[in-house]
Amino acid sequence: MQKTEGIQKAENEKGFKHFESSPNMENTKTVADSRAETMHLVRQGHLNGTGRLFGGILMQWIDEVAAIVAMRHAGSSCITASVDNLQFIHGAHQGDMVVLIGRVTYVGTSSMEIRVDTYVEGADGMRRVINRAYFTMVALDECERPCRVPRLALISEEERAEWAAGEKRREMRALRRREGF
């Protein structure tokens, strides 16, 4: 399978940096093309024994956003390969408005790293981060085999920094798999 060593930077005619591992410059999407935002109201059935939002429910909501982002980027069905850096920073409670924002941070050949930030939005519109997670999603073809995903056009400094960090996280995941963790 083709690996990311072949990735090289190029400028496309729109003038932004463009990571490309194939001569097909058409098959490229921006981070904004697949960004997704969902909202949920925390109800009694979502709570655990301590009266907080049950972690398993939040993980389902995060997984759904990651899947939406991945399907938008890949243009095909996608599955969750791994989850890491899932950090529960604060709890949420009944009546809270929970906002989840997902975006692609890195793409390999058939895999995509998706970052999902979860917030509680107050009545004043202010958002407080309660969770951050990175998912690896893999695009599948009609025979359910991993298939190639579009390249990612990086426009902002923040997107370039996420890509660089995503490369490191990918190496760490590969090391963990090789060592059986």
Ligand X SMILES: CC(C)(COP(=O)(O)OP(=O)(O)OC[C@H]1O[C@@H](n2cnc3c(N)ncnc32)[C@H](O)[C@@H]1OP(=O)(O)O)[C@@H](O)C(=O)NCCC(=O)NCCS
Which residues, other chains included, contact 119 with Cβ-Cβ below 8 Å and sequence gap of 6+?
98, 99, 100, 101, 127, 128, 129, 130
Least separation, in Å, of the C-beta of 18 and ligand X? 18
Is the CB of 82 or the CB of 94 nearer to ligand X?
A: 82
Least separation, in Å, of the C-beta of 54 and ligand X? 20
Least separation, in Å, of the C-beta of 20 and ligand X? 15
Q: What is the DSSP letter of 46?
A: G
CA separation for the pair 78, 139 (Å, rounded): 4
Is the CB of 32 or the CB of 79 nearer to ligand X?
A: 79
Phi, then psi, of 61 in degrees rounded to 5: -65, -40
The CA R_g of the chain, rounded to the nearest whole Å, is 17
Is the CB of 79 or the CB of 164 nearer to ligand X?
A: 79
Residues lying near ligand X in the complex (CB under 6 A) are found at: 1, 3, 79-82, 108-111, 136, 138, 146, 173, 177
